[in-house]
Structure 1
Amino acid sequence: MSARDVMWLIIAADCLPAEPEFASLALKPTEEESEPPMFTSALSFVRRRKVLAIGVVVAVAASTVACIGLGAVTQAEDAQTKAAKVQKVIDKNFADPEVIKVGNRYYAYATNNKRNLPVATADKPRGPWKFTGADGMPKLGAWAKPGRTWAPDVSRRPDGSFLLYYTAHHAKSGQQCIGAATASKPEGPFTAVGNAPLVCPTKQGGAIDAGSYSEGGKHWIMYKAENNVIGKPPVIYMHQTGPKGLKLLGKRFAILRNDRAVERGIIEAPVMVKRGGNYILFYAGDHFARNTYFTGYAVAKKITGPFKKADKPLLSMKGLGGAVKGPGGADVVTGPNGVDHIFFHGLVGKARHMYRAELGWVKGRPVLR
């Protein structure tokens, strides 16, 4: 075996994932070297071994450089591949998108932008998406001040009507809280229910980013307690509701906490689906106005948890090769042929446009397809 062959063997071995058999791999001299002729001097034998050792050191160094380069190329190619799977579908401000499918039509809702509840519709997840001509919720609840109406969540109730959870500015406390509204049609108009918010933990700084989940005839609301606005780590809670979604039952329980440096003190925007026997909780981390805002996920076998966060974000500016800045505020909807789509916003200047990508599932965990 030549020195060049040895070098490439080392590079190949170093670049492969670590396996037990590689741990015991040892380089052996060739037959010629293993049994040198009697007339070969000891000095010559040692020199050959010394040359081989130097070659091995050089090969190892080369393998390190090669692997670093290969790793960087692989990561760059992976980011480019993911970026190619992402499509901008609304090129105007449409933050914190919520998307549902009703019949063969899709409806998207967003954080306030001139209207309390912007609404857009499309025949396909890819679009084209068109704005409806009216505000989906012309009038907020009596407890709320307009101008800070965020992160809507819309779901269909058992009776066929539609339920909206919305975040708004609570006039009495000055905090953000969550209210409810109903409509007979997905595009609205939604009418506020009650004279008080449904969720308003003022001792925790308020609540934002409601998300609904239903399974087996039971219904829950998820939300973020705004602890970070009072200098404490935020928490995402889940609370069972009645069948109409307007009454809280029993006690809430925490499903996710802010415990990673990459989150920079913020977790929010909970969305839950169940795939492959796993409960998948999507969430956003960091501040929405930063390029480093991201979409992560956590997995549990039970709806009550414990939820284990994935090591890497599903969506991030770095992971998408810079194609989308601050990808967050995500929602998941099932489209034609049972294919899941994830909708999210990305920063474009000071606005947040809506993007879409297909989701696949590997062992009950999400991947971009």
Structure 2
Amino acid sequence: MNLKLPTHSFLLFFVFTICFSQRASFAQKIDRMDQNTGNPLLPGWFADPTIKKYNGIYYIYATTDNEMLASGAPTVWYSKDFSNWYNYTMEIPSLESVNLRNFWAPDIIHAKDGKYYLYFGNCQAGCNIYGYVSENPTGPWEKLHEDDTPVIKHGYPTEGFPSLDAQFFTDDDGQIYAHWGTWVHYNKGYAVGQLDNTRMDQMFDPAKIPLDQTPAPFEAPYMMKKGEKYILMYSGGSCHDESYNVRYSFAESPYGPFTEGDNNPVLSTNSDGSVHGPGHHSILEEDGDYYIVYHRHDYPMTRGGMARQVAIDKMIFENDSTIKKVNPGHGKMKDLIKVSDVPDDLAFNTKTTASSHYYLNSLEYDYEYRPEFATDKNNATMWKAENNQYPQYLEVDLGEEKHIERIMTNFEFASYYYQYVIKYSLDGEKWKIFADRSSNRVPGSPMIDDNDIEARYLKLEILGTEKTGLLASVWNFQVFNSKFDIPLQLENRASENSPAPISQRKKLIDINFGNIELNDSKRSIKNSGSLGGFFKVEDNVKLKELKGERFFDFNGGKLVFSEPVPEVLNWNGSFTVATWVKNPKVSNQGEFLASWCNRNKIGLANTYNAMVYNSGPYGAAAHLDGHFDMSFNEVPEANEWHYLVLTFDGVVEKMYVDGKLDNSQVMLLSSAIEDAKIIIGASDIGENFTGQMASFGMYDYALNNHEILKSMNKYRPNELISDK
């Protein structure tokens, strides 16, 4: 979208690569995936997976997804049996210039010196590949360069080339090669070079691979060797929609020249859309068989395709230079699953109820996040509470009295803590404590709670979470009759963050411009909402009159709130913005009605929220990137009064025009409110509204249809009769 952005190099890169994705398109309503599935492999939002096996333990390093343009914590998943996976947040020193946030497309090498070398992309200080070293595959990690010199710098080997998505390949002679590149259709092809095998911290002999050698590329190169052939696999299409896919070319050398392989693309969206936008992969070779580990989009699909999950399928070679088409699915890789001492899950398919559950009813989807999804052994489904109010509970009836020693809970976000209590009962009426995590500040997935009891009923009571606006939500709630060994004894650090504030269901801002007392000397307007305070009238804002009622004409002016943006609007906090407006001319850009985030603080998509009234691709809601913005389906007619309402309930963003739903999209916001102001009539950097406004309200929750109609009628303006 055509928003003005800070001039940081990483932002310029993303501005350059903006395009507008298609909406998800599914042929049928998917109510529930097959039970006891193997895909998705991990319970959570992760993308760009690299899979390795060290000393009998499988590790998956991945981008932590579904927040701030895939800028979550650097974590690793590990498993010994390929069935039960555990997440750990790694200790990685931050860059000196910025607090480390991007951990994109990681890869790892177990070098000949016995150490582990971790590489990943970061665009906070230029789109570079940085390197770290450790004695263990899970860290703690130390920088390869204390001065933050990248291993692969931006502009290497050609000026302007973003160094991201690097994957490393060790040839038979021990030489290590890297292939990297993203948005390569704009950047003239992938790059290849050699890594210094001794220092492991610098590249040499770089070259570009011509575009015609890797047809229809996008990003994510991956080099492997089959016999005497070098197979360069890569992702094509767009990561934001169903066109994403995996392709390959082959050569006699890691440098090429490459010839396009047969059967391209070898992995793509399947016929029923249940595997949607698969790509950015790595390969696991085990006992002569090959498995492709990749990410795919969620269902219902989050806007922009940034809520992705890791999956695995078998990959078969016809010969050393030909890969058969992969048949993506939901089944387990049974030949990978090892014998384990993990007992049967007593909660599987038992009767499960909850305090509430979320019903997603939008223009695109009709879907329920039902309680039983927490006990179905399916990482594609989860229980989600109706709203972000707490407490919420999930109750499981085991059918009869059972011996219980361990309960494992996969909450929606692995790297943020949840506060909860687990209770047990024999009759469903008298409850005792199994585990008290009411003051918990340690993240993890799964959260493991041990005791030794007899019970029929179990109740998980979720009391709050680390991040504002998260709903109580659980991928898996598993119950076991014995304790068992965990592959690695790793414990996450406790967070220093206090629990997130919870919506009080208040009207934060309440201004009816027809009833205000405007003090021309102070140029301020009192807020009648729960936040109190006042709005300072700035620049060219004129007061006019409507049959005894007043309204403001925003001719390049704005109203700026005196108080800080409340924490309840931080991160994924729910909100409603409602206003009566009239825009004499609806253009295709600008025309910001309200803003309450600071795009300069983080500057990534989904960290910025604003309500807009224009005819362009961010005409209804702006989020700093065209893949995530929301337009009007039917642009409200110019020079007419309209009641515009933008709501977000923690899951779905909706725009209502005159009481009717006009557009909607599934979202997870990561709003950046630090040093921000609530501004009426302009954005945070001055993109102004040039029309008229008769009332303005802002809430810390999402109004429903009935509430929207009620407020619309309460503040409806009369016809304009004169200027004042």
Question: Offset at 1:225?
Answer: 5.9
1:331 aligned partner = 282
Question: Offset at 1:205?
Answer: 4.1
Question: Within the alignment, does 1:196 sit opposite 2:152 as a pair?
Answer: no
1:53 aligned partner = none
Judged with a 3 Å threshold, the aligned counterparts in structure 2 of structure 1 residues 338 and 136 are, in CA distance, closer, same or farther, namely farther
Alpha-carbon distance between aligned partners in 2 of 1:169 and 1:117, rounded to the nearest angstrom? 15
Question: Within the alignment, does 1:343 sit opposite 2:293 as a pair?
Answer: yes
Question: Offset at 1:154?
Answer: 0.9
Which amino acid counterpart does residue 342 of structure 1 have in structure 2?
Answer: I
1:292 aligned partner = 243
1:102 aligned partner = 54
Q: Please give the residue correspondences for 1:199-348 in structure 2 after superposition, counting only pairs within 5 Å.
A: 199-202=152-155, 203-215=159-171, 216-224=173-181, 232-243=186-197, 244-249=199-204, 251-255=205-209, 257=211, 263=216, 266-311=217-262, 312-318=264-270, 321-335=272-286, 337-348=287-298
Does the residue aligned with 2:309 lie in a helix, a strand or coil?
strand
Deviations 1:263-286 (A, max 9, x none): 3xx521111111132111110112
Q: Identity, % of aligned pairs?
A: 23
2:308 aligned partner = 352
Question: Offset at 1:111?
Answer: 0.9
Contact 1:150 / 1:167 at 8 angstroms: preserved in 2?
yes
Question: Within the alignment, does 1:147 sit opposite 2:108 as a pair?
Answer: no
Contact 1:141 / 1:196 at 8 angstroms: preserved in 2?
no
Contact 2:213 / 2:249 at 8 angstroms: preserved in 1?
no
Question: Offset at 1:344?
Answer: 0.1
1:67 aligned partner = none
Which amino acid counterpart does residue 284 of structure 2 have in structure 1?
Answer: V
Alpha-carbon distance between aligned partners in 2 of 1:271 and 1:236, rounded to the nearest angstrom? 11
Judged with a 3 Å threshold, the aligned counterparts in structure 2 of structure 1 residues 124 and 307 are, in CA distance, closer, same or farther, namely farther
Which amino acid counterpart does residue 170 of structure 2 have in structure 1?
Answer: S
- Aligned equivalent of 2:110, options 150, 156, 162: 156
TM-score (norm 1): 0.67
Judged with a 3 Å threshold, the aligned counterparts in structure 2 of structure 1 residues 323 and 256 are, in CA distance, closer, same or farther, namely farther
Contact 1:208 / 1:225 at 8 angstroms: preserved in 2?
yes
| Root-mean-square deviation over aligned CA pairs | 2.5
Which amino acid counterpart does residue 98 of structure 1 have in structure 2?
Answer: T
Question: Offset at 1:170?
Answer: 4.0
Contact 2:51 / 2:61 at 8 angstroms: preserved in 1?
yes
TM-score (norm 2): 0.35
Q: Please give the residue correspondences for 1:168-183 in structure 2 after superposition, counting only pairs within 5 Å.
A: 168-171=122-125, 175-183=126-134
Does the residue aligned with 1:316 lie in a helix, a strand or coil?
coil
Judged with a 3 Å threshold, the aligned counterparts in structure 2 of structure 1 residues 326 and 242 are, in CA distance, closer, same or farther, namely same
Alpha-carbon distance between aligned partners in 2 of 1:148 and 1:234, rounded to the nearest angstrom? 24
Contact 1:199 / 1:207 at 8 angstroms: preserved in 2?
yes
Alpha-carbon distance between aligned partners in 2 of 1:347 and 1:256, rounded to the nearest angstrom? 30
Question: Offset at 1:291?
Answer: 1.4
1:366 aligned partner = 323
Which amino acid counterpart does residue 84 of structure 2 have in structure 1?
Answer: P
Which amino acid counterpart does residue 210 of structure 1 have in structure 2?
Answer: A
Which amino acid counterpart does residue 189 of structure 1 have in structure 2?
Answer: P
Alpha-carbon distance between aligned partners in 2 of 1:257 and 1:124, rounded to the nearest angstrom? 41
Alpha-carbon distance between aligned partners in 1 of 2:267 and 2:178, rounded to the nearest angstrom? 24
Judged with a 3 Å threshold, the aligned counterparts in structure 2 of structure 1 residues 206 and 170 are, in CA distance, closer, same or farther, namely farther
Count of aligned positions: 270
Question: Offset at 1:115?
Answer: 4.6
2:41 aligned partner = 89
Judged with a 3 Å threshold, the aligned counterparts in structure 2 of structure 1 residues 137 and 338 are, in CA distance, closer, same or farther, namely farther
Which amino acid counterpart does residue 331 of structure 1 have in structure 2?
Answer: S
Contact 1:284 / 1:329 at 8 angstroms: preserved in 2?
yes
Structure 2: gaps of 5 or more residues: 1-36, 66-70, 328-724
Alpha-carbon distance between aligned partners in 2 of 1:256 and 1:97, rounded to the nearest angstrom? 26
Deviations 1:61-98 (A, max 9, x none): xxxxxxxxxxxxxxxxxxxxxxxx98321131111011
Deviations 1:122-172 (A, max 9, x none): 1244x222212xx2243233355533321001111111111111101242x
Question: Offset at 1:259?
Answer: 7.5
Which amino acid counterpart does residue 139 of structure 1 have in structure 2?
Answer: P
Structure 1: gaps of 5 or more residues: 1-84
Alpha-carbon distance between aligned partners in 2 of 1:314 and 1:227, rounded to the nearest angstrom? 19
Question: Offset at 1:355?
Answer: 0.3
Alpha-carbon distance between aligned partners in 1 of 2:138 and 2:210, rounded to the nearest angstrom? 32
Which amino acid counterpart does residue 146 of structure 1 have in structure 2?
Answer: L
Alpha-carbon distance between aligned partners in 1 of 2:214 and 2:137, rounded to the nearest angstrom? 37
Judged with a 3 Å threshold, the aligned counterparts in structure 2 of structure 1 residues 225 and 323 are, in CA distance, closer, same or farther, namely closer
Does the residue aligned with 1:89 lie in a helix, a strand or coil?
coil
Question: Offset at 1:201?
Answer: 3.0
Deviations 1:209-229 (A, max 9, x none): 01001111211121116566x
Deviations 1:176-233 (A, max 9, x none): 21111111111122222212212123322421101001111211121116566xxx34
Contact 1:141 / 1:179 at 8 angstroms: preserved in 2?
no
Judged with a 3 Å threshold, the aligned counterparts in structure 2 of structure 1 residues 156 and 213 are, in CA distance, closer, same or farther, namely same
Question: Within the alignment, does 1:129 sit opposite 2:109 as a pair?
Answer: no
Judged with a 3 Å threshold, the aligned counterparts in structure 2 of structure 1 residues 296 and 124 are, in CA distance, closer, same or farther, namely farther
Contact 1:295 / 1:315 at 8 angstroms: preserved in 2?
yes
Judged with a 3 Å threshold, the aligned counterparts in structure 2 of structure 1 residues 143 and 279 are, in CA distance, closer, same or farther, namely farther
Judged with a 3 Å threshold, the aligned counterparts in structure 2 of structure 1 residues 294 and 258 are, in CA distance, closer, same or farther, namely farther
Contact 1:219 / 1:245 at 8 angstroms: preserved in 2?
no
Which amino acid counterpart does residue 222 of structure 2 have in structure 1?
Answer: V
Does the residue aligned with 2:243 lie in a helix, a strand or coil?
coil
Alpha-carbon distance between aligned partners in 2 of 1:227 and 1:356, rounded to the nearest angstrom? 25
Contact 1:144 / 1:169 at 8 angstroms: preserved in 2?
no
Alpha-carbon distance between aligned partners in 2 of 1:258 and 1:145, rounded to the nearest angstrom? 39
Which amino acid counterpart does residue 292 of structure 2 have in structure 1?
Answer: I
Question: Offset at 1:258?
Answer: 6.5
Contact 1:145 / 1:168 at 8 angstroms: preserved in 2?
no
Contact 1:161 / 1:184 at 8 angstroms: preserved in 2?
yes
Alpha-carbon distance between aligned partners in 2 of 1:258 and 1:189, rounded to the nearest angstrom? 42
Structure (1/2) with the larger helix percentage: 1
Does the residue aligned with 2:74 lie in a helix, a strand or coil?
coil
Contact 1:234 / 1:257 at 8 angstroms: preserved in 2?
yes
Judged with a 3 Å threshold, the aligned counterparts in structure 2 of structure 1 residues 331 and 143 are, in CA distance, closer, same or farther, namely farther
1:47 aligned partner = none
Structure number with the bigger relative contact order (C-alpha 8 A, sep ≥ 6) is 1
Judged with a 3 Å threshold, the aligned counterparts in structure 2 of structure 1 residues 289 and 86 are, in CA distance, closer, same or farther, namely farther
Does the residue aligned with 1:325 lie in a helix, a strand or coil?
coil
Which amino acid counterpart does residue 247 of structure 1 have in structure 2?
Answer: Q
Judged with a 3 Å threshold, the aligned counterparts in structure 2 of structure 1 residues 169 and 288 are, in CA distance, closer, same or farther, namely same
Contact 1:331 / 1:342 at 8 angstroms: preserved in 2?
yes
Question: Offset at 1:321?
Answer: 4.8
Judged with a 3 Å threshold, the aligned counterparts in structure 2 of structure 1 residues 240 and 259 are, in CA distance, closer, same or farther, namely closer
2:499 aligned partner = none
Judged with a 3 Å threshold, the aligned counterparts in structure 2 of structure 1 residues 322 and 180 are, in CA distance, closer, same or farther, namely same
Which amino acid counterpart does residue 116 of structure 1 have in structure 2?
Answer: A
